[in-house]
Amino acid sequence: MSDGSRSSGVDALFSPKLFAKSLMVAIFILLLESLFFAWQIYLVKEAEAEAKRQERVRNIIVGAHSLMQNLYAAGDGVAKYGIKHQAIELARYEEAKGKIPQLLAAVKAVLVDQPKQAVLFNEIEMQVNKGMERIAEYRKIIDVEEPEAAAKIGLEHQARMQGLLEGLVKDLMEFLEQEKALESRSPAVLKARRDESRLLLFSGLAGNILLALLVVYLFTGNISNRLKLLVENSELLQDGHALNTLMEGRDEIAELDQGMHEMAESLRYEERMVREAEEEFRTIIEQLPVGLLIISAAGGKSAYVIDYANEQAEYIFDVQGEFIAKRNKENGLVGKQFLELFTEENVGALDFSELSRKERVLLKAKTMGEPARTISLELGLVSLKIRERDCYLAIVVDVSERIDLENMKKAFVAMVSHDLRTPLTSVVGFLQLLPAGVYGPVEERVVSEAKRSEAKADLLIGLINDLLDLEKLKAGHLEMHRAEVSLEDCLDNVIDNLSELCEERKVNIVFEGCRATVIGDSDRLVQALGKLVGCFVRLVKHGQITLLVQQGAAVSVRLLAPEKLFPPSICDLFFEPFQKIDEHKAVPPGLGLALARALLEANSASAVVRVDRSATELLVQFN
């Protein structure tokens, strides 16, 4: 970066911030405008004051003329009244007499700011008052003296008034000349004001020109060069190159340049973190226990090419170990046709648009090892875009062992159903006939043992039946006939089925009936509720169980025992297979409770058990 493209350190150090510069310019402009505005206000006020003075002068002149006229009218009216004794002349006198004090007061009021004129007018006022006093004296003489005597006295008064009037006229003329001199001065004052306004306008124009030159110097000199450097740094930042040396100074441009350098450093740090995150993510992807494939979808089925495969995917398809280690694209999965991995009967089912809308599908695939094997895969597809390309993320899980295990389970269930339950049924039939003497007389000890063996065989057959029902329910093969079911009928059937057990255990089931109905399979509900109530019958010691049906927003069945039948820790495990419920084994471990919960869930119901110090409750709620 050249020295010409940036300001020197000293200039930058002492250069104010942009805000300060703009503030100084604004203050300077406001100062000039304020001075200009203040001077204009001053000139306007002076013009207004001059106009008011002119108006006062005119009023004073008019008032003085009116004063002379009224003084003359008063004297003339009295004189003519003394000769003719006419009322009209007396009225002229009285009217002038009333106006003269008003005119004196009006003229004195406008002479407040003219002390010299005020002094002269005070003398005029004294002479006017003396004249009015003499005219008033003559007025009185006219009313009391004879006409000849009044005329003689009037001549004497006229002689005395002559000197007074001459002095008054002289003072009034001097007063009027001074006022006219003030009036004639106004044009010169107005001309001076106009000259001052013209000078002010030219001065303001010159100040604005200087201000514009100052702004040009500030913003096109120092600031423009620094802005160019800032633009250059932004272009370098955009291209990912190193920035110029950090700009010196303390103004906003320098702060912005510093922020840009910090941004560049932050971006470099973020790029490093992104690379590390990508490496970490790649490591996680490689170590996932499921196979992941990225498949390009540039065209038809022939374009379904594998772009990426993690180690688990290579392992699933039995890629040789050396290829896994080297990640050789030519000998691994990358670059191969995705459809070639599957058997011919499954290729037709690989509709990518359809599969991407499903969670997963079960397919047969071929391994790449020698010899090739057929494996069972669960395949899930997710459509996505990578760099504007349509792709699919394939998730593959080898379920061959699980499929084999399920086949073994099916074979075991079939074996239990046909090879174990049938002989046990025959054994139970033999044990039932043995005490009846069908096979000849037997001892009492043999009969007792036969009944005990029959009970154990019945228990084993029940366990087998529960196992078969549970497996059918999980596989969705258990027949269910859903309809509206009366809970009272179901519970009555449960109580009837458990009557022998209740008599044996000396337990009384209290049920007062109900009118509630639910939707479900009546036989399966009797089977599930029977196993739950039978468990309580075997556990209770005090001889009574209560069945309550509550109907509100949902229908629920409550099974209450007035004692603690098992520890609270058993509540979470109550419905687990082969769970030991009590220490005395009154309820043998098996699948009965697990089957009961499964049957309830198949009929849109749930079950939960609670235990406290003095009672045990089992709640079945229908949704």
518 CB-contact burial (10 Å; exposed 0-12 / middle 13-18 / buried 19+): buried
User: Residue 563's pLDDT is what?
Assistant: 92
Give the pair of three-digit tokens for residue 456. Answer: 């154990």
More confident position, 526 or 421: 526
Among candidates 597, 598, 599, which has minimal Cα distance to 619? Answer: 597
- How far is 193 from 221, CA to CA, in rounded Å? 41
Domain ranges of the chain: 14-224, 288-398, 404-471, 480-622
Express each pLDDT in 125-139 by its tens digit.
788 888 788 778 777
- How far is 444 from 498, CA to CA, in rounded Å? 28
- Residue 620, pLDDT above cutoff 90: yes
- Residue 445, pLDDT above cutoff 50: yes
Report in angstroms the alpha-carbon separations of 423 from 145, 430, 433, 460, 508.
179, 11, 15, 12, 36
Same fold, 288-398 and 480-622: no
Mean pLDDT of the chain: 79
Query: Which of 229-243, 446-460, 507-521 is the least confident region?
Result: 446-460
Instruction: Output the CA torsion sign for 234, 235, 241, 247.
Output: negative
User: Residue 179's pLDDT is what?
Assistant: 66
- Residue 15, pLDDT above cutoff 60: no
Query: Which of 103-117, 256-270, 507-521, 541-555 is the least confident region?
Result: 103-117
- Residue 510, pLDDT above cutoff 90: yes
User: Residue 12's pLDDT is what?
Assistant: 43
Confidence of residue 488 (pLDDT cuts 50, 70, 90): very high
More confident position, 434 or 345: 434
Express each pLDDT in 16-66 by its tens digit.
666 676 677 677 777 777 777 777 777 777 777 777 777 777 777 777 778
288-398 homologous superfamily? PAS domain (3.30.450.20)
Mean pLDDT across 290-295: 87
Highest mean pLDDT among 191-195, 281-285, 487-491, 610-614: 487-491
Mean pLDDT across 94-108: 83
Confidence of residue 328 (pLDDT cuts 50, 70, 90): very low
User: Residue 6's pLDDT is what?
Assistant: 44
More confident position, 176 or 576: 576
User: Residue 3's pLDDT is what?
Assistant: 44
- Residue 407, pLDDT above cutoff 70: yes
Express each pLDDT in 268-286 by its tens digit.
888 888 888 888 888 888 8
398 CB-contact burial (10 Å; exposed 0-12 / middle 13-18 / buried 19+): buried
Give the pair of three-digit tokens for residue 376. Answer: 């069972």
Strand order, beta sheet including 616-622:
508-511, 544-551, 555-561, 616-622, 605-611
Among candidates 120, 100, 102, 132, which has minimal Cα distance to 171? Answer: 120
**Helix (H), strand (E) at residue 326:** helix 321-326
The yes or no reply on domain 480-622 and CATH 3.30.565.10 is: yes
User: Residue 156's pLDDT is what?
Assistant: 66
Query: Which of 62-66, 555-559, 599-603 is the least confident region?
Result: 62-66
User: Residue 324's pLDDT is what?
Assistant: 47
User: Residue 360's pLDDT is what?
Assistant: 75
Hey, how many other C-beta atoms are within 10 angstroms of the C-beta on 306? Answer: 21
To the question of pTM greater than 0.75 for the whole model, the response is no
- Residue 1, pLDDT above cutoff 70: no
